[in-house]
Amino acid sequence: MTIKTFKIYQVKPRWIFIKLVTNDGVEGWGEMISGTKTETVVSGANEMANFLIGRNPFDIEILWQELYKSFFRGGPINSTIVSGIEMALWDIKGKMLNVPVYELLGGKAREKIKVYSWIGGDRPDDVVREALDRKTRGFDAIKMNATSELHYIDSYQKIQSVVDRVSSIRKEIGDDFGIAVDFHGRVHKPMAKVLAAALEPYHLMFLEEVVLPENEEAFKQVALHTSTPLATGERLCSRWAYKNIFRDGIIDIIQPDVALTGGILETRKIIAAAESFDMAAAPHAPYGPIALAATLQVDACSPNVFIQEQSLGIHYNKGFDLLDFVENKEVFQYNNGFVPLPSLPGLGLKIDEKLVKKVSSEGLIWTNPKWKNYDGTHAEW
């Protein structure tokens, strides 16, 4: 069996799908992150996927090594391409062997997977109403952005606004409800210390990306101002990028993204390494259905995953949502805040390729918002 051909689709709102097809007609699907360079990713994916033609799709590790370990390696563009291809290879292998992918990674470590829901949008608003809505739907955990633009040193009124939003959810729903607050790298070290300390009384589930990953030396300083678990990892592109995090021991929760770190097996390796450092995992997955399906395969066999991000209804999904391109929508049916383990072979998805083709023909241009501070300087989104 060999890989015969491939197809890449640019899909609104912000997803890139890749389909590999074997000479036996078996199809495997993967997903890449468009970020702000959709055409760059697509062009690179076409170039790299050509390398697979005539190769055995079962040789996942050697193909990964050859794709990833070019002379100039790493970075989000190369890494997301490798990730999407790797997912598709696992999808083929699972289908050929008639088992879910997690059965090939050691088998299940749990009976079900806990998930949380996003609320509030990019500039968090109306959080109490949305939190009550999620509780009504059975979720007992949510995540929200902390703040919008925030300068290196900024108004304490903005800090108080964050506190007021969190406090209002606690007051309305009570203490037995998980609240995660995502700083999203928007908060620089001076204000991150202030904000972390101000949120300490509200017993949050975790604080996410309290500073940008390139400022990882500041994690220790922020940690001095809070006992709340700290999480990071969504922008890291390989297992090698986690070495300092594991060595320093400051971060409590890692958040690798299966569509960025190199794929399913690489994410499994990262999470397994975290377990040896007594760290939890809450994988990053705010994108499309294929990336989420691949992430659930990792969750199923990883005991230190305690909760999973998912994108149903997330504020980025304009025009199309998580379920629109999936025929077997039951795979993402949440019951009391949990999703069942995948049961179908491969990634467990039946993709509506007819709709994928239609939407892909319309093109895709997505870029993250461009924000400015009160003085016109660039603000992190």
Give the active site residues: 184, 284
HSE at residue 27, side-chain half, CA atoms within 13 A, is: 13
Sheet holding 15-22, edge to edge: 3-11, 15-22, 27-33
CB 32 within 8 A of CB 305: no
Structural tokens at position 337: 């805040």
Q: What is the DSSP string of 7-63?
A: EEEEETTTEEEEEEEETT--EEEEEEE-TT-HHHHHHHHHHHHGGGTTS-TT-HHHH
Q: Which residues contact 42 (CB under 8 A, 6 or more apart)?
A: 8, 10, 16
Neighbours of 335 (CB within 10 A): 9
Phi, psi values for residue 165, rounded to 5°? -65, -45
How far is the CA of 109 from the CAs of 265, 290, 300, in angstroms?
A: 16, 22, 6
219 contacts 232 by C-beta, under 8 angstroms: yes
**Distance, CA of 71 to chain centre:** 27
**Backbone angles phi and psi of 30, in degrees to 5:** -140, 170
Q: At a CB cut-off of 8 Å and minimum separation 6, what does 270 contact? A: 239, 242, 254, 256, 261
The label of the residue with tokens 């292998």 reads 93
CB atoms within 10 A of CB 221: 17
What's the chain's length in residues? 381
| β-bridge partners, 338 | 114, 335
